[in-house]
């Protein structure tokens, strides 16, 4: 092991004993020291590298030292400027920077992967500009929101590539991991949500699929799901189906004793249940039903809406709910409300089975078993005020966010070469 010795003496001038001032001084000194350590380390590495360098090119020509060229890189301990030696082949003319090669810095990259990892970690939860602000506040490192956005796009494409390879393994090589323990009851939930499109008026649909089973009781009325896996894409229905089925297979859905399929009632999602999860029990998502009832009845009939929701929650009786809609319909004269009730009736009618099934599986959508995953996955990052997206950027950031939500962030970056 080669050690690099930094000879500088570190001095902190303490003119005040107030802890806040001392803290600030030391923090600034640590940053400064970090940059010096980094510069010295880089110098040490180059010395070592050059003393062992074979001065011959791949073509067989001789490598000639043609001076030093400055370079600036940004790292998690700050920005550092240094000069490194350039070599040129006397025969083919190719230039080389042995230091860059041994440091693993690509020709144009002026930041370390470690910094990218930390920055993108912030950006998966908060807007790019805000991530830049947060980073600056905590570390003093200045980046622009645009720069972070570009990294997210690049890195997201790499994540997608690795996901694609994993999927191909499951499908092509039939390499299905054996699940450790047979799950009794598995929830599969599929949903779609729209985010604002920046490239044209309208919106882009994100399709989200979630799988989970076990729950641990955290407190009296709170549960935590331990094995949740989320998949989401902005791709079309067919690609979503194929990809989500691969996720389900990799997770071990098919080994479960019972599959409960939870949906909002949209027809493509219902169709998916029929064709892709033929043995599953279809459940209408309670939150969606409640929302539909509340919207249809409006402010004037809020009490009736609340009563209907409470009733269907305890009885799982879709026919009773249909009766309530019919009887309100004949009593009112407001054509707008009538129209909304008609729609609600159609919605409940087409999801009758999904409501009645709540009783059958003794698991209401309202019992807390069903997570508001779409909200967590999409809305909290992509649907904030003023946000709009173009498809490739959205798709990239979404795959980064999924890494984090699925607890695979560290594993991914470790494979990329970032020690975590
Ligand atoms: Zn050469």
Q: Give the distance (Å) from ligand 1 centre to CA of residue 49.
A: 19
Q: Give the distance (Å) from ligand 1 centre to CA of residue 95.
A: 8
The model's confidence at residue 368, banded by pLDDT at 50, 70 and 90, is: very low
Q: Give the distance (Å) from ligand 1 centre to CA of residue 48.
A: 23
Tell me the average pLDDT across 324-347: 94
The answer, yes or no, to whether residue 181 has pLDDT greater than 80, is no
The model's confidence at residue 369, banded by pLDDT at 50, 70 and 90, is: very low
The answer, yes or no, to whether residue 10 has pLDDT greater than 80, is no
Cα torsion 323, 326, 331, 334 to 10°: value is: 140
What is the pLDDT, as a whole number, of residue 366? 41
List pLDDT tens digits, range 40-65.
Answer: 889 999 999 899 888 888 899 999 99
Interatomic CA distance for residues 272 and 192, integer angstroms: 13
List pLDDT tens digits, range 213-242.
Answer: 866 666 666 666 778 889 999 889 998 998
Most confident segment among 30-34, 52-56, 178-182, 291-295: 291-295
Task: Please list all protein residues whose beta carbon sits less than 5 angstroms from ligand 1, which is an ion.
Answer: 57, 59, 61, 89, 91-92, 94
Q: Give the distance (Å) from ligand 1 centre to CA of residue 89.
A: 5
Most confident segment among 31-40, 190-199, 216-225, 398-407: 398-407
Tell me the average pLDDT across 106-132: 89
The model's confidence at residue 371, banded by pLDDT at 50, 70 and 90, is: low
Tell me the average pLDDT across 191-201: 85
What is the pLDDT, as a whole number, of residue 121? 96
Q: Give the distance (Å) from ligand 1 centre to CA of residue 91.
A: 5
Domain boundaries, the chain: 1-110, 112-175+390-420, 286-369
Please state, in angstroms and as integers, the Cα–Cα distance from residue 57 to each residue in 11, 46, 68, 91, 102, following that order: 46, 18, 19, 9, 16
User: Angle CA(161)–CA(99)–CA(37) in degrees, nearest 5?
Assistant: 100
Sign of CA dihedral 359, 362, 368, 371: negative
The model's confidence at residue 146, banded by pLDDT at 50, 70 and 90, is: very high
Q: Give the distance (Å) from ligand 1 centre to CA of residue 55.
A: 11
Q: Give the distance (Å) from ligand 1 centre to CA of residue 81.
A: 29
Please state, in angstroms and as integers, the Cα–Cα distance from residue 270 to each residue in 192, 245, 273, 279, 282, following that order: 12, 15, 5, 13, 8
The answer, yes or no, to whether residue 148 has pLDDT greater than 60, is yes
Q: Give the distance (Å) from ligand 1 centre to CA of residue 101.
A: 16
User: 81: phi > 0 → left, psi -120 to 50 → alpha, else beta; which?
Assistant: beta
Tokens 């967590």 sit on residue: 376
List pLDDT tens digits, range 150-177.
Answer: 999 999 999 999 888 888 887 776 666 5
User: 78: phi > 0 → left, psi -120 to 50 → alpha, else beta; which?
Assistant: left
Q: Give the distance (Å) from ligand 1 centre to CA of residue 109.
A: 24
Q: Give the distance (Å) from ligand 1 centre to CA of residue 56.
A: 8
Q: Give the distance (Å) from ligand 1 centre to CA of residue 66.
A: 14
The answer, yes or no, to whether residue 112 has pLDDT greater than 70, is yes
Q: Give the distance (Å) from ligand 1 centre to CA of residue 216.
A: 63
The answer, yes or no, to whether residue 34 has pLDDT greater than 90, is no
Averaged pLDDT of the chain: 86
Task: Write out the DSSP string of 18-59.
Answer: -HHHHHHHHHHHHHHHHHHHHHHHHHHHHHHHHHT---B-TT
Interatomic CA distance for residues 327 and 12, integer angstroms: 80
Count, in order, helices (H) and strands (E) of the chain.
16, 10
Please state, in angstroms and as integers, the Cα–Cα distance from residue 197 to each residue in 132, 205, 396, following that order: 23, 9, 15
Q: Give the distance (Å) from ligand 1 centre to CA of residue 87.
A: 10
């Amino acid at each position: 092991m080669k050690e690099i010795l930094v000879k500088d003496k570190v001095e902190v001038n303490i003119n005040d004993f107030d802890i806040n001032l001392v803290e600030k001084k030391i923090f600034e000194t640590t940053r400064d020291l970090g940059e010096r350590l980094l510069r010295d380390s880089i110098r040490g590495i180059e010395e070592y590298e050059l003393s062992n360098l074979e001065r011959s090119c791949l073509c067989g020509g001789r490598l000639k030292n043609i001076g030093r060229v400055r370079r600036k890189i940004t790292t998690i301990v700050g920005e550092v400027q240094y000069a490194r030696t350039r070599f040129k082949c006397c025969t083919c003319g190719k230039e080389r920077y042995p230091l860059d090669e041994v440091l693993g810095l690509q020709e144009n990259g002026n930041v370390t992967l470690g910094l990218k990892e930390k920055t993108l970690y912030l950006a998966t939860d908060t807007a790019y500009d805000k991530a830049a602000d947060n980073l600056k506040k905590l570390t003093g490192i200045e980046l622009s929101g645009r720069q972070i956005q570009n990294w997210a796009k690049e890195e997201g494409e790499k994540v997608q590539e690795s996901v694609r390879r994993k999927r191909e393994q499951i499908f092509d090589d039939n390499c299905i991991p054996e699940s450790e323990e047979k799950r009794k009851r598995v929830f599969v939930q599929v949903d779609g949500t729209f985010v604002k499109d920046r490239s044209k008026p309208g919106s882009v649909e994100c399709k989200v699929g979630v799988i989970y089973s076990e729950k641990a009781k955290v407190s009296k009325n709170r549960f935590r799901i331990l094995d949740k896996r989320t998949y989401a894409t902005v791709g079309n229905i067919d690609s979503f189906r194929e990809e989500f089925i691969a996720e389900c297979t990799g997770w071990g859905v098919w080994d479960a004793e019972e599959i409960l399929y939870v949906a909002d009632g949209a027809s493509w999602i219902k169709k998916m249940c029929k064709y892709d999860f033929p043995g599953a029990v279809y459940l209408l998502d309670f939150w969606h039903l409640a929302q539909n009832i509340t919207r249809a009845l409006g402010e004037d009939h809020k009490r009736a809406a609340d009563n209907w929701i409470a009733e269907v929650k305890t009885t799982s009786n879709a026919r009773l709910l249909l009766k309530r809609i019919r009887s309100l319909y004949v009593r009112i004269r407001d054509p707008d409300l009538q129209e909304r009730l008609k729609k609600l009736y159609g919605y409940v009618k087409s999801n009758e089975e999904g409501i009645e099934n709540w009783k059958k599986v003794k698991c209401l959508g309202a019992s807390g078993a069903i997570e508001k995953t779409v909200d967590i996955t999409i809305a909290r990052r992509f649907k904030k005020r003023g946000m709009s997206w173009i498809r490739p950027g959205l798709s990239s950031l979404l795959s980064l966010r999924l890494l984090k939500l699925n607890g695979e962030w560290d594993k991914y970056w470790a494979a990329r070469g970032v020690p975590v």
